A and B are shown apart, each in its own frame.
Chain A
Amino acid sequence: MRSDRQAQGALATGLQAAPADLESGGVLRRRQSETSGSAWETVRLAALQLFMTVLVITFLVPTFWMISSSLKVSTEVFAHPIVWLPQDPHWNNYVKAFQLLPLTRFIYNTLIIVLFAVLGTVISSALVAYSFARISWPGRNFWFGLLLATMMLPDVVTLVPRFLIFKNLKWIDTWLPLIIPYWGGIGAIYVFLMRQFFRGIPMELEDAAEIDGASRIRVLIQILLPLSKPVIATVAVFALLQHYNDFMNPLIYINSMDKWPLALGIRAYNDSYAKNWEVVFAASTVMLTPMVAIFIVAQRYFVQGIAMTGFGGR
């Protein structure tokens, strides 16, 4: 487990201000013994507890309402006062959602696009980060500076010219504009995260041998990457979120419905079946479900990554 702790350490140095030990909550536990359990303190904490409970329920209501409405019949959707839980779950709404538009197709398309975009992000970020972290070469600081500068660049500036470039390449209405750029290591935050992490791993293993290009690849694959699972997971999770969510790029580049990802598909439900709320909600719930599953499985990496970068994949 030594490597895991190193991993945490490396993440913590990523941004000085942000710690990785969110889970420890050391501060809180220690204070517990120090404050006397005065009556006033008890009342204050009980009030806070109550307030937080009300507030968190408020935050969860829109999502809950979406899911519960996806199982209602339309008279329940449009009932006053609001029906919070359907009488019997009306699963047929989902069947309808899959029939009205090619939802299976959207899911498949999303899967392929996201898979290749995330793969490209992870591989290219690892290569570039390795170069910035471990090899000294003239111009390294210049290129690293450029990489950091791109973090502040609003995507919109390159929106029009990129479209024109892809149009010239005849890439319009293909998935290439949604995939290929991400093989170019231009996700600055991902490269930055990985570089910080690599720098936290001791050099001894590599120093021993006279290193040439071929063995560097082996060093990266056989030594560094196996030690870097936490940061790879963080990068993969955020890249996944980014591409799963991406709406504007598909909107601009993909015209044919049979190539749409889910993000465009959901909009189509909203436009074409605006009055069938239950179907729109069912389709939206279908899009939400994998995210919830991933969140439950990989919550640790979400929290770690956000604490490190302030970035949530959007």
Chain B
Amino acid sequence: MAATTAPSGKRQISKRQLRDWVAGYVFASPFIIGFSVFIAFPMLYSVYLIFVEWDLLSPATFVGFANLAKMFRDPKVNLSLYNSAFYTIFAVPIQLTISFSLALALTQRIRFRDFYRAGFYMPIIVPLVASAVVWQRVLHPEFGILNEALGWFGIAPRMWLFEPSLTKPAFIFMSFWMIGRQMVIFIAGLGNIPDSLKEAASLDGAGAWGQLRYVILPLMTPLIFYNMVIAIINSFQTFVPAMIMTEGGPQDATLFVVLNIYRNAFQYFNMGYASALAWELFVIVVGFTLVQFYLSNRWVYYEEGS
């Protein structure tokens, strides 16, 4: 796999090779420049920012570890972490269960499968801002359709976005609406499971449940894992609904991490502190992802040789 290079000691680089080298770098230069300017440099810059206090009006002053020390004791920061963790822990597993079940259902012998698939996918097409605007009203206590629908079953209306204990559950509920992407991935994976395996299982006396448990689920673990990693990363970065529907309220119940970072940077103009918070999120997300990859050896089934 190593890039082919001439043995450097002998300095026998042919003209053609040299041309390849130059061409390679020239064609890759948008990324090399783009990465350096828009990713690598900003990341280094933000490491520096962790250690300064800077409101953009007066010059930056070096404060050492003050931002970090403050960060660990800041109740708002801890609350925002709690909110994001709460949201992620409840939303992701249920999302995966729903999208996987839908995918299973839509690979059965029922009619109009394409229509169902398009229907469940539809919410992804709705621009995020528009869906936040709509859901703010779907969840409206008096004129929203959720309370109306609950009323059909005799359930009393709730103050979804106005009562702190109900806001996160409402956000989690809303996230189930947007599982189309996960579903499409699962459908793709289910279509890839060879018939012969299921037949072999049913010859061995496995019923529908046995096939699911011993054939389908194991073969689907790579995709479940993939969807889970992506869903956790995305959940930790929820921003638009909180910004538009509740502005972090009520009583900071939807003050998620990214919203808190946004506020510190662009409303309170604490560039240094916001950078520290961003790095905290970075460490959490990357740490989470690495732990998942580490644990994946125990439950994700990889076919040999693939």
Taking Cβ atoms with an 8 Å cutoff, the residues of A that contact B are 16-22, 24-28, 30-32, 34-35, 45, 48-49, 51-52, 55-56, 59-63, 65-66, 77-78, 80-82, 124, 127-128, 130-132, 135-141, 143, 146-147, 150, 152-165, 167, 181, 183-186, 191, 210-213, 216, 244-245, 247-248, 251-252, 262-263, 266-267, 269-270, 277, 280-281, 284, 287-288, 291-292, 295, 299, 302-303, 306-307, 310-312, 314
Q: How far is the CA of A159 from the CA of B259 in the complex (A)?
A: 12
Number of A-B contacts (CB under 8 A): 313
Residues of B close to A147: CB separation below 8 A: 31, 35
Confirm or deny: B45 has a beta carbon within 8 angstroms of a beta carbon on chain A: yes
> Residue-by-residue, is B17-29 near A (CB-CB < 8 Å gives 1, otherwise 0)?
0011111111110
Residues of B close to A45: CB separation below 8 A: 108-110
Residues of B close to A167: CB separation below 8 A: 56
CB < 8 Å: which of B38, B131, B261 contacts A181?
B38
CB <8 Å contact, A161 and B31: no
Most buried by A among B113, B191, B223: B191
**What is the distance, in angstroms, from B232's C-beta to the closest C-beta of chain A?**
11
Most buried by A among B5, B28, B110, B136: B28
CB <8 Å contact, A287 and B35: no
Chain B residue total in the interface (Cβ 8 A):
110
CB <8 Å contact, A158 and B42: yes
Supply 22 A–B pairs (Cβ within 8 Å), ascending by A. A28-B109, A45-B109, A63-B123, A82-B145, A147-B35, A154-B233, A156-B261, A161-B43, A161-B275, A183-B30, A211-B23, A247-B243, A252-B262, A263-B129, A281-B134, A284-B127, A284-B130, A284-B134, A288-B130, A312-B124, A312-B181, A314-B128
Most buried by B among A45, A78, A248: A248
Q: How far is the CA of A126 from the CA of B33 in the complex (A)?
A: 15
Most buried by A among B184, B239, B281: B184
CB < 8 Å: which of A30, A63, A191, A306 contacts B134?
A63
CB < 8 Å: which of B124, B143, B187, B274 contacts A78?
B143
Q: A157-B279, A165-B45, A262-B127 are in contact. Are A139 and B3 (CB under 8 A)?
A: yes
Residues of B close to A146: CB separation below 8 A: 35
Residues of A close to B38: CB separation below 8 A: 158, 162, 181, 184, 186
Q: A56-B120, A127-B30 are in contact. Are A22 and B191 (CB under 8 A)?
A: yes
**What is the distance, in angstroms, from A250's C-beta to the closest C-beta of chain B?**
10
Confirm or deny: B188 has a beta carbon within 8 angstroms of a beta carbon on chain A: yes
CB <8 Å contact, A59 and B177: yes
Stretch of B65-73, B88-96, B162-170, B282-290 with 4 or more beta carbons under 8 angstroms from chain A: B282-290
Q: Which residue of A is nearest B152, CB measured?
A: A81
CB < 8 Å: which of B125, B189, B258, B275 contacts A18?
B189
CB < 8 Å: which of B26, B118, B128 contacts A213?
B26
Residues of A close to B265: CB separation below 8 A: 159-160, 163
CB < 8 Å: which of A30, A185, A244, A306 contacts B185?
A306
CB < 8 Å: which of B24, B115, B120 contacts A131?
B24
> Residue-by-residue, is B186-219 near A (CB-CB < 8 Å gives 1, otherwise 0)?
0111111101000100000000000000000000
CB <8 Å contact, A157 and B43: yes
Q: A131-B24, A213-B22 are in contact. Are A310 and B134 (CB under 8 A)?
A: no
Residues of B close to A181: CB separation below 8 A: 34, 38
Besides the known contacts A66-B134, A137-B24, A216-B23, 19 further A-B residue pairs in the complex with CB atoms under 8 A apart: A27-B190, A59-B120, A81-B148, A131-B24, A137-B20, A153-B282, A158-B43, A158-B46, A159-B262, A162-B42, A181-B38, A184-B31, A262-B129, A284-B127, A284-B129, A284-B130, A287-B127, A310-B181, A310-B182
